[in-house]
Every structure is written in C-alpha cells, then in structure tokens.
Amino acid sequence: MIDDKGLRLDGRRPDELRSIKLQVGVLDNADGSAYIEQGKNKIIAGVYGPREIHPKHLIIPDRAAIRCRYRMAPFSTEERKHPAPSRREIEISKVIRESLEPSILSEYYPRTVIDIFVEALQCDGGTRCASIVAASLALADAGIPLKELVSSCSAGKVKGHVIVDLYDLEDKYGEADLPVALMPNHNLVTLIQMDGKLSKEEFEKAFNMALEGCRKIRNLQNDALKRKYKLESDTENSKDSESKEEGK
Amino acid sequence: MLLTILAQKKQLVIPGELVAKGEYDPDLNVYKDGENIYSTMIGIFESRGNRISVVPLKHCYFPFVDDIIIGKIIDVGMSGWSVDINSPYLALLPATEFGARQNYPKRRETTQSLSVGDLVKAKIIAFDRSRDPLLSARDRGLGKITHGRMIKITPSKIPRLIGKEGSMINMLKKESACSLSVGQNGIVLVTCSSPKNEEVVVELIKMIEHEAHTQGLTDRVSEVINRKLRGVKTGKA
C-alpha cells in the first residue's frame, strides 16, 4: 500500500490531497447547488429553501428544520448499487445534516425547512467528506445565512502510515479511517467519526492532518464561491470599460 | 474605540468572511463574534457610519409589517384567501380586509371577487415569528390586479430598483409612460399602453437586477432609455 519512497498506491505523498474541482451554481431549478470532483468522486448537491414545511408536524417553532438526503446512484460503484436507500445512505444523510447544522443560522427563518439533496454520481472513498464540502457551498449559493462554510477531510492509517484523504482502496484495506468536518474560523469540529484502530499518538497525528486538509479545502471553497459571483460582476465591469471606451 | 474595516466598500464577500474588527454595529446579514464581524451571505459589503452590513446577491423574501407586496391567490377559504407572497410563509388575506364589505361573506362571494390564480397587491399588516403574515387590501392603490406584466427579481435588489427617494423608479415611469408597481417581495408589475415600451422596461428592470451593485447604474439606465425609448418615440414621429 505504501512503497519504498513513501508514496501511496495512487502516487500521492502521505499528506497530499486528491485533486479537487469545485463548481457552484450548476443547477437551474434548485435554489442553490454545487458540484465537487475529488479524485474519482463525483458528487452534486442541491438546496431548496427556506420554504414552507410539509408535513406540518415537522415544524420547529423557533428555527428552520433541516432535512438532508444523501443518495448513491446505482452506477456510482463498481458493482451496481441497489437503488433503495441503504443503511449506509441513511447514516451519511444524518451525518451530513448534523455536520452542517451548526453553520446554518436557522433561527432566522422559524417554521420553515431547508432541504439538502446530495447525489453521489461516482464514489471512490471519502464521499461523506466531499458531500459536506459540496452541500455547504450549495447552502451559501442558495442565499441561506451561514456562520461560515463547513470544510471536511478524512485521514487514516494504512500499513502503519498515517495518511490524509483516503480513497476507496486505502479505505477498504487500511487499518483506520477518520473523517472530520471543520468550521475553520470558529475552530469548531462539526463531525468526527472513526472506524478501525489508532493509538493515541496516531489519532492525534491523523486528526491534525485531517484539520490541515479541511483548511486547504476551505480555501478552495472560498475561491469557488468567489469565482462564480465574480464572473457576474466581471462581465459588468467589462461592460463598464466598454461603455467608457465608447465614451472616449 | 473603532478599529479596522477589513473589506472595501462594494467588495464581494462570502459567508464567514471577516469584514470588520472593533466596535461597529452589525446590521443586516452580518454577525458579531467577540470583536470580529463576519458576513453571513454572499453579497456586497456596505458600511455607513458605524453600521456594517452586507447586501445579499440572492436571498428569499422575509416579510416585514407595512411592506407592500404582490401575491398570488392559491386557496380560497371560508373567511379569506391564502396568498403566495414569494416567501417561506403563506400569507392570509381575510375576506373582511378586501373591498368595503364588513359582513362575514359567503363562500360564493369570496370566490367571485378573487379566485385561485388571481394576483393581488396588498400590505402586510401583521407578522411575527410565530404567526403567518396577515394582509390587507383596503388601502388606496391596493387590491386585485387585472392587467399588466409580472416580473420576478431578487427581493434584495428592490431598493436599487426604487433608487434614492424613488429616483430610479420615477425615471423609468416618466420616460416610458408605463405604470410600475413594485412589491417588496421581488415582484414588479409593469403596465404599459405600448408593447414596445413594455419590452424596454422589462429589459431595464432585468438590467438593474443584474447590475444592482455596480456604480453609475443610473447613468447607464438613462443611456439605454435614451437609445431605446426616445429612439422609439422619434421613430413614431
């Protein structure tokens, strides 16, 4: 799993993230949306709301309810995934919702609901982290007030080496996996899970590597958001300069 | 003691971005955490005196008492109408608040005056966090909308469409000879006698929505008016 030079199966160094591509506002019909490609992961997130809540008994009198559905496409994995919601999907839906909830200022819109839909089109390990990254961007794109964006990254252990951002094989054949979600400005961890075994020292190392990964991803998120909304203002600026030139 | 403002005026900010430090007053769409003021939305940074705010590029309409809104009837009940006002909350227009009738109306009467799909211009007379907005259409200029063209824009751009003391909207009205009625919930109704002018006005409203945060917008709008509307007029003459 790790060669003599200390490189991983896919040629990454232990502290190296997969290449990430982020795009905001990819869907027209959702209020907000985002797309993430992290290595071979391809995930799309859509957000609706705040909107009227149905069924009515889900109303929370003092804040907006948040619902989240994570779904894997049948073609997302090597072996066809049965389209019915699995135990895993239900768990990840809950985990995504709970890791985003602290960032949403839901008390601004009492008695409403914010719906988050995450569709995993292609999975290659670490989809819960990638989903959180995309869903948080989609929330911001929908114009929902947020304390800040949530970033997420995993770390783990493979053949005794602590590594960051595990992909499918490392996840399957490694010894431990530790997904973490972070609100960097507040220094608030909103998600931490672990499967496998880590010693105390290994845990601390892995945890810090995951936090470092979150911070790196946060910068990419910021860039992606600004890129989308700068585009709009840039076209206007170019119009400005054009009209000025016309004036001359 | 005031400290620093970190963002520049009209700068694009995103949620969680630190915009100011020190004893400023957080206004709309920002929050204070200790000394730091952060943005909560994707928007344009503004500071006026001591007040720090962010004008969002995109958000949903949150009802305020005394707002004039344009809504669509989606249900007729015994005592009034349910109205979609382009916000997360469904508004109620009681039958007694529409027209002059004080008596408790019969169902036939409610459906006759307003049925599902009709548009109304109304005022929010009561709203708080625990109750749905209550409308009234008993003031002058309010009531059923019978003709015109409806345009939806982002509610946060409405102040720009109206302009300082109504400068922008008055210019549009004067130059196009159209009647414009603006709902605070982001719905604008354009009624024109000439279809050409209507087209131009709709285009201009879209332009104002798109370029709301840029400077010199009024000049550019008047330039388009000169080119398109006056051109239309001279063409006729």
Contacts of B210 in chain A (CB under 8 A): 232, 236
pLDDT of residue A234: 55
**Side chain identity at residue A244, one-letter code:** K
- On whether any CB of chain A is under 8 Å from the CB of B28, the answer is no
In a mutagenesis test of the A interface, which of B36, B37, B61, B129 is the best target, namely the one with the most A β-carbons within 10 Å?
B129
Considering only CA atoms, give the Rg of chain A: 20
> Which amino acid belongs to residue B107?
R
**Tokens encoding A178:** 């530790």
CA distance A138 to chain B (A): 12
Q: Give the mutation candidate from A27, A109, A133, A219 for the B interface (greatest B CB count, under 10 A).
A: A109
A145 closest CB neighbour out of B29, B57, B211: B29
Answer yes or no: do A105 and B31 touch at CB < 8 A.
Answer: yes
Judge: B62–A108 Cβ closer than 8 Å, yes or no.
yes
List B110's β-bridge partners, or say none.
none
Q: Cβ of B216 and A240 within 8 Å?
A: yes
3-class SS shares of chain A: helix, strand, coil, % to 5: 35, 30, 35
For the segment(s) B68-145, the CATH number from 2.70.70.10, 3.30.43.10, 2.40.50.140, 3.30.429.10 is 2.40.50.140
pLDDT at residue number A174: 93
What distance in Å separates the CA atoms of residue A102 and residue A191, rounded to the nearest whole number?
10
Asked whether the beta carbons of B2 and B24 are under 8 A apart, the reply is yes
Contact B41, A143 (CB under 8 A): yes
Q: Which residues of A touch B32 (CB under 8 A)?
A: none
Q: Where are the domains of chain B?
A: 2-55, 68-145, 149-236
Which pLDDT belongs to residue A239? 47
Task: Report chain A residues whose CB lies below 8 A from the CB of B214.
Answer: 233, 236-237, 240
> Strands A65-72 and A112-122: what pairing?
parallel
Record the tokens describing residue B230, joined without a space: 């006056």
Instruction: Judge: A143–B129 Cβ closer than 8 Å, yes or no.
Output: no
Highest mean pLDDT among A149-163, A218-232, B1-15, B28-42: A149-163
pLDDT beyond 50 at B64: yes
The pLDDT tens digits for B126-172 are 999 888 999 999 888 888 998 889 999 989 889 889 888 888 899 88
SS3 percent helix, strand, coil of chain B, rounded to 5, is 30, 35, 35
Q: Which of A61, A109, A225 sits opposite B88 (nearest CB)?
A: A109
Nearest CA in chain A to B84: A52
Q: Which domains does chain A have, with CATH numbers?
A: 20-225 (3.30.230.70)
Which residues in chain B are closer than 8 Å to A59, comparing Cβ atoms?
A: none
What pLDDT does residue A70 have?
Answer: 97
Q: What is the pLDDT of residue A248?
A: 35
Is residue A115 within 8 A of residue A160, CB to CB? The reply is no
Chain A residues lying within 8 Å of B62, measured CB to CB? 108-109
Whether A155 and A107 have beta carbons less than 8 Å apart is answered as: no
Strands B25-26 and B51-56: parallel
Could you please state the CATH topology (level 3) that the domain comprising B149-236 is classified under.
Ribosomal Protein S8; Chain: A, domain 1 (3.30.1370)
Cβ-contact A103, A150 below 8 angstroms = yes
Q: What token pair was written down for B60? A: 């949903």
Of residues A153 and B216, which shows the higher confidence score? A153
Among A49, A141, A149, select the one facing B16 at the smallest CB separation: A149
Instruction: Please report, in tens digits, the pLDDT of each residue of chain A (248 residues total).
Output: 888 888 999 999 999 999 999 999 999 999 999 999 999 999 999 999 899 999 999 999 999 999 999 999 999 999 999 999 999 999 999 999 999 999 999 999 999 999 999 999 999 999 999 999 999 999 999 999 999 999 999 999 999 999 999 999 999 999 999 999 999 999 999 999 999 999 999 999 999 999 999 999 999 999 999 998 876 655 555 444 444 444 33
CATH topology of domain B2-55: OB fold (Dihydrolipoamide Acetyltransferase, E2P) (2.40.50)
Q: Which residue of B has its CA nearest to A59?
A: B130
Give how far Cα A218 sits from Cα of A135, A137, A211, A214, B123, Å. 13, 10, 10, 6, 43
Note the pLDDT of residue B111. Answer: 62
Contact assignment for B57 to A240 by CB distance below 8 Å: no
Q: Do A237 and B214 touch (CB under 8 A)?
A: yes
Residue B42 to residue A229, Cβ atoms within 8 A: yes
* CA neighbor of A241 nearest in space, from A233, B200, B12: A233
What is residue A231's predicted lDDT score, i.e. its pLDDT?
Answer: 65
Q: Identical fold at B2-55 and B149-236?
A: no
Q: What CA–CA distance (Å, rounded) separates B18 from B29?
A: 13
The closest CB to that of B12, out of A108, A146, A229, belongs to A229
Tokens 């936090």 — which residue?
A: A211
Calculate mean pLDDT across residues B55-72: 91
Mean pLDDT for the stretch of residues B20-43: 89
Which residue does chain A place closest to B129, by CA atoms?
A110
Which residues does A47 contact at the CB level (< 8 Å), separation at least 6? A30, A31, A32, A33, A114, A115, A116, A117, A135, A138, A139, A141, A142, A144
How many Å is the Cα radius of gyration of chain B? 21
Three-state secondary structure along B52-110? EEEEECCCCCCCCCCCEEEEEEEEECCCEEEEECCCCCEEEEEHHHCCCCCCCCCHHHH
Token code pair at residue B215: 């400077």
Please choose, from the candidates A112, A109, A105, the residue with its C-alpha nearest in 3D space to the C-alpha of residue A59.
Answer: A112
Among B30, B40, B45, B53, most A C-beta atoms within 10 A, so best to mutate, is B40
Three-state secondary structure call for residue B231: helix
